[in-house]
Structure 1
Amino acid sequence: MSEAGTLPPPTAPAQADRTGKPLSVTALRRTYGGVTAVDEVSMEIAGGEFVTFLGASGSGKTTTLMMIAGFCEPDSGSIVVGGRDVTRLAPQKRGLGFVFQQYLLFPHMTVWENVAFPLQLRGLSKAEQRQRVGDTLEMAGLSAMGRRRPRELSGGQQQRVALCRALVYRPPVILMDEPLGALDKKLRDQLQTEIKRVQQELGLTVIYVTHDQEEALVLSDRIAVMRDGRIDQFDTPRELFERPRTPFVADFLGAANFLTGQVEQRTPAHTLVRLDTGGVVKARPHEAAEGTRVRAAVQPGRLVPCPPDEGFCTGTVETVTYVGTLVRVTVRPDSDAAGEPVRLELPAGRAPVPGEAVGLTADTGNVSVFPDTGQGG
């Protein structure tokens, strides 16, 4: 083990990946019995980037990851890692690391032996194995547990061992399939911090699958929001949250409220929308022509209650739910044209009370406009 307790420099494949050779996925397609699971998915992932595939069950995120890993062969398309086409290679020949939700540790082996196993398969010397395993366990805070067997560890400790096993041979890309899904929230939050720290310290390229929006926002440099086998938007967490390009992204990532209306005025600085509820909301610029039917979308945390005569929408508070540092409020608009109640999230202690008449307002930059197709996201 090195005196500093840090990992030795990565081997050549990982260095090549970090100096600019991305992982490229081009037009990946996969069908099962006539059902399209992944439909023409393409992306470029830079070395050292943390990318998350985010979506509901059946969105295609895990199938895409499995094709990159080699556990599932695409019907068409290509996968290139560090300049090498690996589309038809077996998983063990791709040199990628993989961390599953199920830890898949060998129960008869110690922690040390589990982590050393990939190095033994690659024929590294005993001295190199000792160095790498020792440094990797120390990095993960598991140095004192090397002689334990998996059954003697907590779930969080077992998942850290699984992560160490994927890290120890310095793969150019690490794939993670919902690795924290079986853990409780407190432990999941702790391991999110650890995973991000290790990824940044070592400059790792990580592709991560989750259905948890908060987890994706915390960990990722970029997120691919997937739906029906396609990528709806591939962007930074901030862009996805603050500037969604589709109603689906606005709703899935930000639980947006949608209010229908028509464009009353268009300028380079804003779009004025006359809502069906009667009020006028000022939204970000949009290309929709004046008179066009649209949906104004605003997230619950970006709505602000105000006196009834000052908002773009007025209504009556229906429910106020305390959830720790914030309260969730629903407001029933006075106009029947509004449809569902409007949802707000406010700091605890600043919420209105049920039965109170309120107005609703929001900053221009927090209101998105989408064409009104008469359908959901």
Structure 2
Amino acid sequence: MPDIDLMPSRTAPAPATGTGKPLSVKALRKTYGGVTAVDEVSMEIAAGEFVTFLGSSGSGKTTTLMMIAGFCEPDSGSIVVGGRDVTRLAPQKRGLGFVFQQYLLFPHMTVWENVAFPLQLRDIPKAELRRRVGETLEMAGLSAMARRRPRELSGGQQQRVALCRALVYRPPVILMDEPLGALDKKLRDQLQTEIKRIQQELGLTVIYVTHDQEEALVLSDRIAVMRDGLIDQFDTPQELFERPRTPFVADFLGAANFLPGRLEDQSAEHTLVRLDTGGLITARSQAVPDGARVRAAVQPGRLALCPPGDGFCTGTVETVTYVGTLVRVTVRPVGGAATELIRLELPAGRAPALGENVGLTADPANVSVFPDVLPDPESGG
């Protein structure tokens, strides 16, 4: 290993910016026997965009990532990176960066040597190699650990080394397959911040796979919510959470309450639903057939308490659970089914008492209306 300065500099060197390239996926399909794992998936990802594939096990998110990486050959469709068709190229010829959940570091190499390895394979001149490795370690806060070996590092530090190894040769796209899944929550939150910071500093195009909804919301510019090999909705985190287009998306991102009823009135400004409990709830305007059976969907954190008799329903507080900065409350609505409970998330300190009668209300902008078909809790691939 060449001589290096193990002391971090007072100011980090300015890295190259805008290294990410756009990626286009068209009609990507993969089957295994009679099972369709990915079904005609298409998307356009801009240069420098952070996109997450979000879904439960078997939804097709990892298979799609593996086809982009080249580890899995599609039955049909195309993958274009920066205007270059890579659909049939071997993984090493695509030039993409990959970060796995398992760190896969070379145990006999130091941190510096692990990070330098991809550049050595590409015959990068020594002076340039030193500069790039130094910049990348500095950016990840690992300069002082350059001489350590993986066994001398914590899990979070090892994952940062794995990230540096993928970043150091400035690939056009970085692919990440649940890279933080093995870490505890506090460390995972810290590394989420680091990953997003580095991605923005370098202008990286990132495709990230996770089943963790909160992680996807924190990191992503856009999220592809996947189910049964299809993309249910591909949108910004705010649009997905505030304006889900399907019951599955509403349920998967936030576990929405689905309140059964019948469409009573609609206009360009609002949709009015008569709930089975007797009350009226107002939603933002949506196209639903007159008189149709529907379910009004609203996230627990978008509900508020009001005096009994006001709002869209009155009920009795069944449970109150303290979870730190908020409390989770369930309310059994008057006139509801025996098993029906409405879930709320309220700021800590504003919890009602067990057995208290309360009213419930919601801003129409936060209420979606869907045909009366509940999402299948077992679905998701």
Q: Same fold (TM over 0.5)?
A: yes
Superposition deviation, residue 375 in structure 1 = 5.8
Question: What secondary structure sits across from 1:108 in the alignment?
Answer: coil
Contact 1:330 1:343 in 2 (8 A): yes
Superposition deviation, residue 338 in structure 1 = 7.4
Superposition deviation, residue 337 in structure 1 = 3.7
1:52-63 correspondence runs (5 A): 52-63=52-63
Q: Give the partner amino acid of 1:92.
A: Q
Q: Give the partner amino acid of 1:289.
A: P
Q: Give the partner amino acid of 1:356.
A: E
Question: What secondary structure sits across from 1:277 in the alignment?
Answer: coil
Contact 2:216 2:223 in 1 (8 A): yes
Superposition deviation, residue 6 in structure 1 = 2.4
Structure 1 residue aligned with 2:264: 264
Question: What secondary structure sits across from 1:308 in the alignment?
Answer: coil
Structure 2 residue aligned with 1:214: 214
Superposition deviation, residue 315 in structure 1 = 1.1
Contact 2:15 2:202 in 1 (8 A): no
Counterpart CA distance in 2 for 1:6 and 1:230 is 42
Structure 2 residue aligned with 1:77: 77
Counterpart CA distance in 1 for 2:28 and 2:238 is 27
Structure 2 residue aligned with 1:317: 317
Counterpart CA distance in 1 for 2:90 and 2:104 is 20
State the TM-score, normalizing by the size of structure 2: 0.94
Deviations 1:91-124 (A, max 9, x none): 0000000000000000011000000000000001
% identical equivalent positions: 83
Contact 2:271 2:283 in 1 (8 A): yes
Counterpart CA distance in 1 for 2:10 and 2:187 is 29
Counterpart CA distance in 1 for 2:367 and 2:323 is 25
Structure 1 residue aligned with 2:241: 241
Deviations 1:316-362 (A, max 9, x none): 10000000000000011121347421000000110111111111110
Superposition deviation, residue 254 in structure 1 = 1.8
Q: Give the partner amino acid of 1:110.
A: T
Superposition deviation, residue 33 in structure 1 = 1.8
Structure 2 residue aligned with 1:28: 28
From the superposition, tell whether residues 154 and 224 of structure 1 become closer, same or farther in structure 2 (CA, over 3 Å).
Answer: same
State the TM-score, normalizing by the size of structure 1: 0.95
From the superposition, tell whether residues 8 and 336 of structure 1 become closer, same or farther in structure 2 (CA, over 3 Å).
Answer: closer
Counterpart CA distance in 2 for 1:233 and 1:339 is 30
Counterpart CA distance in 1 for 2:17 and 2:328 is 47
1:1-377 correspondence runs (5 A): 4-9=11-16, 14=19, 17=21, 22-337=22-337, 339-373=339-373, 376=376
Counterpart CA distance in 2 for 1:374 and 1:253 is 15
Aligned residues: 370
Superposition deviation, residue 88 in structure 1 = 0.6
Where in structure 1 are there 5+ consecutive unaligned residues? Answer: none
Q: Which of 152-161 and 124-133 deviates more? A: 124-133
Counterpart CA distance in 1 for 2:289 and 2:160 is 54
Contact 2:333 2:342 in 1 (8 A): yes
Q: Give the partner amino acid of 1:215.
A: E
Deviations 1:302-326 (A, max 9, x none): 1111111102111110000000000
Superposition deviation, residue 125 in structure 1 = 1.1
Question: What secondary structure sits across from 1:304 in the alignment?
Answer: strand
Superposition deviation, residue 263 in structure 1 = 0.8
Question: What secondary structure sits across from 2:253 in the alignment?
Answer: helix
Contact 1:10 1:170 in 2 (8 A): no
Contact 2:251 2:375 in 1 (8 A): no
From the superposition, tell whether residues 114 and 293 of structure 1 become closer, same or farther in structure 2 (CA, over 3 Å).
Answer: same
Counterpart CA distance in 1 for 2:336 and 2:272 is 21
The alignment's C-alpha RMSD in Å is 1.5
Deviations 1:7-48 (A, max 9, x none): 54269xx36x2xxxx200001111112111111110000000
Superposition deviation, residue 76 in structure 1 = 0.7
Contact 1:116 1:165 in 2 (8 A): yes
Contact 1:320 1:330 in 2 (8 A): yes
TM superposition outliers: structure 1 runs of 4+ over 6 Å = none
Superposition deviation, residue 373 in structure 1 = 3.0
Contact 1:259 1:338 in 2 (8 A): no
